[in-house]
Structure formats: C-alpha cells, structure tokens
Structure 1
C-alpha cells in the first residue's frame, strides 16, 4: 500500500443541510497533508475542523478551488466522478461509528464495503475474518447480529468495516467520543498501530490535546473557517498566547510542566508533551 498526499488549493466550501446553509464555512484554504503523516486537526467548536475532513472524502465539495487526494482531483465541476474514486482511497471513522452499522450479521456488515468496490464474496469473507481479529474481537461474532453486541463491540465492528476497505487515507472524527479513558486509549492505540503498520496518511479531529501530544506528528489548527497554524505539536504548545487566542487546551504533561516551572522558578530544557518527557526533563534539571 502506498500512502497518499492530500493537497487543498484555495478551497472555499459552503455547508448545506436541508434548508440550513452556511456560506463559506471554509475560506480559501490551501494546505498539504504529507503522505504517511499522522495529522491532528484542532480548534474550538465551529472552527471548521469536521468540514475540513468532509472535504477529503467528498461529503463536502469545494465551491471554489480544488482538493487533490493523491492523483484524484475534486472540483465543483467534476465532483460526481472524482468523489466516487476518492472514497475508494479514504476510510472515515465518525464520532459514533457504531451508528453506521446496518447489516443482519457482523460478517455482512464488514463485507459490505469491499464488495461494494468489486471484491469477490469469498475474498470479502476472508478480509472480514482478518479484520475482526485485528480489532481484538473473536471470530465467533461474525455470525451474530451487530445490534446484539455491547456498545464497545459495536464500535470495534464499525472500525473493522472501515479497515476492511484497506484505505490509503484514514480520517478520524473524534473516534473516542463517549468512551471512558481506558476504552478511548484502546481505540486510539489500535488506530495508531494500524496507521503505522499500513503506512497510512491519517487525519484526526480531536478536542483532546493529549491525543495530539501522544499520536500526532503534525497539527493543523482551524479558526473561523481558516487554517491558522500547521506545524509540529511542540511548536504549538510552546506558544501560550496562541493557545489562548484559539481557545485550545494543553496536554496534561504540559500543564504540569508550566506549574512546576513557575513554582520552582526554572525553565526546563524542552517542551514536555508526555509524562515520560517531563520525568526526563526533571531528572536532567536535578528536580527528580
């Protein structure tokens, strides 16, 4: 599998949901998401985060500009054909992916995506068996109704259905929403491991800055329908004025670092985004 670069060139998009229309929910955005990167998308509610992701799998089409998914270019003129092509490359895990379940058995639910894109039934059955195991569920669940499962099992089945399509690009819209901290970490660890194994290009919308600190190698910050920052997490969390301006939180380790620096009147040698980094910096400074 070859990961894919995503390019947006001067993209403006409107949001339409029935009679409700929001013009220019995204405003002349240009950016590149590097092939193989794990990019977090942050910003306060209404900043355009989810709309940015929807552009990348054709749920939202540019009014102006163009979106390139690898070699596939989506514009307002060619949207119908290009969106269909792009969806074969892009897997999207929504906030509550279990709401996407619909088939009479878990196996049929997982097989639906691959078969919809032309994979033969026997091969789709084999894929379903592989991915159900990959998400940590027992193969005996394949014959059960997805609606008979626990909430956690439903979420893993829904993710298995996305992974079964072998996407080149994985788009995650708050995939840990509604889970307890342990369950959320398990989901995020699984998705991050899949990203690494398959060499995917992954985008994650999240309000949780610990997700950004733990998993992302790049972060995009949205504000008012525009991209106001794109760089590594260390640089973002070093700029306290910008964090405040854009209404963002800090990772727990960074909050603790700032408190320790203020109380001990020291400046540690690095921006600490994880507790392990903070422990190392404290040892280096002779404070632990």
Structure 2
C-alpha cells in the first residue's frame, strides 16, 4: 500500500564525528504524493541524498517534521518508532552491493525481514520471491554474494530491500557504476516494481534521461531547499534556469534546440523523448 511523504518546514544538520555540515536541509516543505514516481535532481551537495535519508530517519530533523503516511519523524525520535518507519521506507543507497555482508545470498536477503520479526521459514520464502523479482535464479541462494558479478551483487542488494516489503522505495543513483545495459535493466526493474506494487518511488539521479523516461514528478534541489516541484515538462522548459541549476538537457530536447536553430522551424511543443520528437515532426509535416 503506497504512502505519501510530507516535509513540513524541515531543517537538518549532518554530523559525522566532529565534522558538521549545517542546513543540508533548509526549511523544506514538500508533499510527495502516494503512488508517484518522483525524481530528485540538483548539483552535487544540493541536498538530494539528505532528503532521502530524512524519509526513513537516517537523518533526523533539527526543526519541523517528516510525515510518512501516519508515521511522524521529529527531532529526537526514539529508536523503536524509527524501526517501524524504516520497514515502510526501503532505502537503496548508492553502490548498495557494498552493504552485502552474509556468507550466502539467502542469509543476506533474509536479514532484514528476520530483523523485523518475520519467522525464518517465511523469510526464506520471501527471499525466493524477491530474487525472482530482480531477475535472478534461485540457484544462487546458497552462493556467497561476493562471488557474484557486479550486476548480480546490485540486484541481490536491492532484493534485500524489497524483502522487507516497503510501501515507499527511495533510491540514490541505483544505476551508478553499471554499464549501459546493466543500468537500463536495473532502471526498468524499478519501474516495473513501481507499477506492479503501486509503490511511492523516489529516485535521486544525475541522468536527465532517467527523469524523462521513468518519473512523473521532479524535485529540483538547491542549497538544501526545494527550488521546484513539478512535472518534468515544466522543469525542462526553462533553459536559462536549467543552466543556473547546473542541470543537463535531455538528448531529445537538445536535438530539438539544434534542429530549430539550424532550420528556423519551431516545433509545436517541448520535446523530451524520441516519441515527442516523432509526434512533433508529424504535426509540422516533416514525417
């Protein structure tokens, strides 16, 4: 069952030992709708990963609160309450395979469900199901995760998150470090889970092709604040603002701009995908 996420005047500092980064989130107010697929974009250090961590209590607010469905994350939230939230919000970190630790794939996937109170036999059945969901065969359950290929490790790590059956899936650059085919496979799988499970999905990405291919909403972050929260057509319509945000232009939009400059023919809409281009060329009689 999908859930919405609401940030209400959330500010947060990030601390690791003596190192403190003030206001990685700065008075954030945003509502992420239940069942939406939202891409979070912005330059490095804009607050994208901090926004994700605040959704499952890895980063607690200094001020304000985060509502995950009817669960509330406030400053000084106690550990048991955070455990409940983290079961509902599954977080896939960048390079999640670095979190693999168990002696077998099965034990690695089962760790989360068992930690949340699922009986061992039931956890093993869940492991079989989610392994199939990420496109891997059950014969690797007994193998060491460290003996797998890079793409297989990534899938096993994501399977461990799915095994907890979250309502919200948040992902920090899940395709990072993979070759183009492996990246597309992972992104297509995530899109499939989003549709089939009717999840609320939040994706941090630097790839604007991911945004226009998979997401229906976009959050642009700048200096720990929400600079814009809208559909991707709105985000990519203002080239001057994109440059200020240090965001790339999708390939189809770049092609459109070059075409219009060279031919003087203005297409009837902002084109962000190949299908958009095809429709626009048909409309002006060029296809």
One fold, TM greater than 0.5? Answer: yes
- Where 2:141 maps in the other structure, the secondary structure is helix
User: Which residue in the other structure is 2:59 paired with?
Assistant: 60
- Where 1:175 maps in the other structure, the secondary structure is coil
- Where 1:109 maps in the other structure, the secondary structure is helix
What TM-score comes out, normalization by structure 1 length? Answer: 0.98
- Rate the CA distance shift 1:278–1:79 in 2: closer, same or farther, 3 A: farther
2:82 is equivalent to residue 86 of structure 1: no
Q: Which runs of 4+ in 1 moved over 4 A?
A: none
* Aligned residues of 1:61 and 1:79 also touching (Cα < 8 A): no
User: Which residue in the other structure is 1:134 paired with?
Assistant: 133
User: Which residue in the other structure is 2:145 paired with?
Assistant: 146
- Where 1:47 maps in the other structure, the secondary structure is coil
User: Which residue in the other structure is 1:9 paired with?
Assistant: 8
User: Which residue in the other structure is 2:183 paired with?
Assistant: 184
After superposition, where does 1:1-288 map in structure 2 within 5 Å? 2-288=1-287
* Aligned residues of 2:60 and 2:76 also touching (Cα < 8 A): no
1:103: how far off? 0.6
Q: Which moved more, 1:265-274 or 1:187-196?
A: 265-274
Unaligned runs of 5+ in 2: none
Task: Provide the C-alpha distance between the structure 1 equivalents of 2:78 and 2:63, rounded to a whole number of angstroms.
Answer: 12
- Rate the CA distance shift 1:257–1:79 in 2: closer, same or farther, 3 A: farther
1:79: how far off? 4.4
Q: 1:55-114: CA deviations, max 9, x gaps?
A: 001110000000001010011133434322210101111110101111110011111111
- Where 1:254 maps in the other structure, the secondary structure is helix
Task: Provide the C-alpha distance between the structure 2 equivalents of 1:273 and 1:79, rounded to a whole number of angstroms.
Answer: 45
Task: Provide the C-alpha distance between the structure 2 equivalents of 1:11 and 1:191, rounded to a whole number of angstroms.
Answer: 28
What's the C-alpha RMSD, in Å, of the aligned pairs? 0.9
- Where 2:236 maps in the other structure, the secondary structure is helix
What TM-score comes out, normalization by structure 2 length? Answer: 0.98
Unaligned runs of 5+ in 1: none
* Aligned residues of 2:54 and 2:61 also touching (Cα < 8 A): yes
- Where 1:143 maps in the other structure, the secondary structure is coil
Task: Provide the C-alpha distance between the structure 2 equivalents of 1:27 and 1:112, rounded to a whole number of angstroms.
Answer: 35
* Aligned residues of 1:50 and 1:205 also touching (Cα < 8 A): yes
